[in-house]
Structure 1
Amino acid sequence: MPGGDMAKPLLGRRNMESNPDLTPAAGRTVGILGSGDFARSLATRLVYSGFQVVVGSRNPKRCAGLFPSAAEVTAQADAAKKTDVIFVAVFREHYSTLCDLTDVLAGKILVDVSNNTEINHHKESNAEYLASLFPACTVVKGFNVISAWTLQSGPRDGNKQVLICCDNQEAKRIVAEIAQVMGFTPVDMGSLSSACEIENIPLRLLPAWKIPVFLALGLFLCFYTYNFIRQVLHPYIREQKNRFYKIPVEVVNSTLPCVAYVMLSLVYLPGVLAASFQLHYGTKYRRFPDWLDQWLQHRKQIGLLSFFCAALHAVYSLCLPMRRSHRYQLINAAIKQSTLGFIALVVSTLHTLTFGWTRAFDENQYKFYLPPSYTLTLLVPCTVILAKIFFHLPCIHQRLRRIRNGWEKGRYVKFTLPSATGEYSSGESSSNV
């Protein structure tokens, strides 16, 4: 990457001028060992955050043009002498090349930013390995979950959290302050033994999607098997009709809206359970069970997968006559935005009830005594809608709103609630309100 481009990141000095509190007090000098892409992005970000940067390279003359003009590019030994905090931006297999600097690095803080190519590729983490090579230094693991692009463009366009771990609290505090000045949010992950876990994080593929994807696949498999028995297996056994041609298109197309419908309901069901939990204990400060907490955190992914299934159903419907696809067309509106998503859930439920009300009482619709698939999909949505209606009853809604504004059962507290006109009125409450 040319030096001119690196000298003009998307995060300019104007942000520093508008936030003078971000400027380090004494303009701390920070060192970097390495001249790769991450080292160049890190140097650029440090310079524009107000730090004095010294870069140590094995070929300083060749690499000087790749760094911002404000950064000093020199030999590794010279860079190590000029600062007490040094970012080690080299690969693990190159750590041994720094052993010649053992005496110069003694007493320094080394920030290991490296990652592995595989999860648990080595018995010990890179940071622990670096600490074993330089026992006279204090090694801090950090910045490995931040990409080079994020360093250049700013935390608003990427991950803001910097995970930090170290056995020395003072060293951890210093690195955390550097991260804050750069605009990131430091997160204390404990001792250096946590470095292995931190190094595995960038290697995990979409960790927040694992549970929602397995949920979607499980629902698809269940509904597909159910529809296969009703639409293909039952006619073949009872009427000797070969309808196996329905397997790739029609059975899949009748399965997708069921999955989309149920998953859209599962977006709102944890909110209902959370409200019930708060009403039962009379406080918002009690921690939810782990399973409910995880469910609440995965609502976005579940909603997006619901929309994906609905969109895929629309594509499949193009392969069928319009008369076959009109029955599920309203489910294609299953988007995840809070209000619109719930409206889509209500409309889809009304549509399904209207469509299947007469069929639900038709004996011919029960294949192998199995009810139509749409009747099964109504269980969760109807539960969610009825619970939402219950929570919007004035007496229940008022109590739930007080809890979410800080009121606790059994305690006498003051609270402020918005009135119907938008103004705020103060009040007092105790456990008997």
Structure 2
Amino acid sequence: MEKPFLKETSFAMKMSSSHNQETVCVFGTGDFGKSLGNKMFQCGYSVVFGSRNPGLSGLHPKGIEVLSYAEAARRSDLIIVAVHREHYNFLTELAEELNGKTLVDVSNNLKINQYPESNAEYLAELVPGAKIVKAFNTISAWALQSGTLDASRQVFVCGDDKEAKQRVMDIGCTLGLTPMDQGSLKVAKEIENYPLQLFPMWKFPLYLSAALCIFYFVYCMLREVIYPYIHEKKDNTFFLAISIPNRMCPGVALNLLALVYLPGIIAAILQLYRGTKYSRFPNWLDHWMLCRKQLGLVALAFAFLHVMYTLVIPIRHYVRWKWSNSVISQIKTNKTNPFNVTNAWLSDSYLALGILGFFLFVLLGITSLPSVSNTVNWREFRFIQSKLGYLTLILCTAHTLMFGGKRFLSPSILRWYLPSIYVLSLIIPCMVLVLKFILLMPCFNQPLTRIRQGWERNLKGSKKAQLGNGNTGV
């Protein structure tokens, strides 16, 4: 009886030998074509290049041939087309040679939706007898050459022929990549647009944080710089360097954290109102929910800035000047300020809540990293991001409330009838926490749970149906 280990070894040897026997043709000797061909050659494939200049064989490792397009096409039934779309016309002359063969389109464009159809679909029109597969366009020549595929390991594959597509995916696995089957060739345009997108999920969080920064900065400047200058002729312009950013950053961080959880609450309210989960959310809400991770990471960045600004407060010239003047005035009057236990409690509580809130904030950021989130199951990830996320929001909101202390509703803090910035910062977080508390009440939580399990409310009132077969929904 053959041992399992020997079976696995013999299977691996067969796979390796099959790679050695298989010949792959690469049309194009540019940076990407050369890098991809050399990588396949290192992984055990026999590689032949097709080029309009066959005399370039000296640029490739020994064992790789560079032939004309027609000669190279005869050597393999799998051809990687690594040339730009504007040079595809030569393929029509090779239509007979390419008939029935697999052509892998790896091209990209210079801008999104540059052509009416995708490059892969255009290639299918030029060579109708070939099996067209779109793949490898999301990795770079530098990553293939240097071997640093960690940041670009995932590749998208699409095509109408299942066998050809599976063959290309097997090559991707052999190269150490992670191929993802995206479906038919109609998806090729979306795959080609993907490398051209510039932080698509980050635009909304960055624009929103920029808008909040501008608003808080102008608001603080009105209160802390312009108002004292007009009423007291005091020059507080130096506040623009440390004081105002240290008031602005925590407000932005707290509001962005609250906005991470607000779309989930809005979605729950919509599901309760509609009585079903089988109805699309508005596009703006869909996009907002997809950007929650990025919103949280931007909020964490502003929280880090707040911590850094706070740590430098004791070494500021203005603060040292105030402390020294206070000490000198007490010496001259021979009096000391009595110790206030209430203020001590407020100060220590404010600091303790801030430390705990920031710790959980960092924990949320760490668990959002793919390398960490992949090591936990769905229930653990949901517990951290939802339960601990709301606890973080509560602690950070309480931190801001404690900072205001007895001054929170005092008329003395108003300037031009404008409250302090930390009062404004509490509006959205408090609203989110109140709405979440309401949704946790049994009268709302139980129907919402049933809806997310597939139950639907018949709006006509004639019947209630149970659907979904145990699907918990989103």
**TM-score bracket, shorter-length normalisation:** 0.7 to 0.9
Judge conservation of contact 1:259–1:306 (CA < 8 Å) in 2.
yes
TM-score, L = length of structure 1: 0.73
Give the alignment of 1:344-423 within 5 angstroms. 344-409=392-457, 410-413=464-467
Give the alignment of 1:220-231 within 5 angstroms. 220-231=213-224
Give unmatched runs, 5+ long, in structure 1.
1-13, 419-433
- Residue 271 of structure 1 aligns to a residue whose secondary structure is helix
Computing the radius of gyration over CA atoms, which structure comes out larger, 1 or 2? 2
Q: Offset at 1:254?
A: 0.8
Letter in 2 for 1:305: V
Deviates more, 1:124-133 or 1:304-313: 124-133
Determine the structure 2 residue equivalent to 1:252.
Answer: 245
1:271 aligned residue (247, 264, 271): 264
- Residue 367 of structure 1 aligns to a residue whose secondary structure is coil
Deviates more, 1:380-389 or 1:82-91: 82-91
- Residue 242 of structure 2 aligns to a residue whose secondary structure is helix
Q: Offset at 1:77?
A: 2.4
Give the alignment of 1:169-188 within 5 angstroms. 169-170=160-161, 173-181=162-170, 182=172, 183-188=178-183
Letter in 1 for 2:217: Y
Letter in 1 for 2:466: Y
Larger helix fraction of residues: 2
Give the alignment of 1:5-84 within 5 angstroms. 30-36=24-30, 38-39=32-33, 42-43=36-37, 55-56=49-50, 58-59=54-55, 61-62=57-58, 65=61, 76-84=69-77
Judge conservation of contact 1:260–1:307 (CA < 8 Å) in 2.
yes
Structure 2 residue 209 is matched with structure 1 residue 213? no
Evaluate the alpha carbon distance shift between residue 395 and residue 175 of structure 1 in structure 2; reply closer, same or farther with a 3 A threshold.
farther
Judge conservation of contact 1:111–1:142 (CA < 8 Å) in 2.
yes
Distance 1:376 1:15 in 2: 67
Evaluate the alpha carbon distance shift between residue 416 and residue 187 of structure 1 in structure 2; reply closer, same or farther with a 3 A threshold.
closer
Give unmatched runs, 5+ long, in structure 2.
1-7, 173-177, 320-346, 366-384, 458-463
Distance 2:430 2:222 in 1: 25
Evaluate the alpha carbon distance shift between residue 73 and residue 315 of structure 1 in structure 2; reply closer, same or farther with a 3 A threshold.
same
Determine the structure 2 residue equivalent to 1:340.
Answer: 388
Q: Offset at 1:84?
A: 4.2
Judge conservation of contact 1:164–1:187 (CA < 8 Å) in 2.
yes
Deviates more, 1:379-388 or 1:115-124: 115-124
- Residue 181 of structure 2 aligns to a residue whose secondary structure is strand
Evaluate the alpha carbon distance shift between residue 139 and residue 190 of structure 1 in structure 2; reply closer, same or farther with a 3 A threshold.
closer
Distance 2:279 2:43 in 1: 40
Judge conservation of contact 2:135–2:155 (CA < 8 Å) in 1.
no
Evaluate the alpha carbon distance shift between residue 363 and residue 391 of structure 1 in structure 2; reply closer, same or farther with a 3 A threshold.
same
Q: Offset at 1:359?
A: 1.8
Deviations 1:261-283 (A, max 9, x none): 10010111111112222222333
Distance 1:376 1:301 in 2: 23
Distance 2:280 2:103 in 1: 38
1:318 aligned residue (292, 300, 311): 311
Q: Offset at 1:127?
A: 5.0
Letter in 2 for 1:186: D
Judge conservation of contact 1:34–1:89 (CA < 8 Å) in 2.
yes
Evaluate the alpha carbon distance shift between residue 112 and residue 343 of structure 1 in structure 2; reply closer, same or farther with a 3 A threshold.
same
Q: Offset at 1:49?
A: 9.6
- Residue 156 of structure 2 aligns to a residue whose secondary structure is strand
Q: Offset at 1:108?
A: 4.7
Distance 1:265 1:383 in 2: 9
| Identical aligned residues as a percent | 38
Deviations 1:137-190 (A, max 9, x none): 67654431244548997998646451547xxx44xx455333544452222476
Evaluate the alpha carbon distance shift between residue 392 and residue 113 of structure 1 in structure 2; reply closer, same or farther with a 3 A threshold.
same
Deviates more, 1:338-347 or 1:91-100: 91-100
TM-score, L = length of structure 2: 0.67
Deviations 1:8-52 (A, max 9, x none): xxxxxx89969x99xx9xx98653223455446645777899987
- Residue 207 of structure 1 aligns to a residue whose secondary structure is coil
Structure 2 residue 108 is matched with structure 1 residue 115? yes
Aligned residues: 390
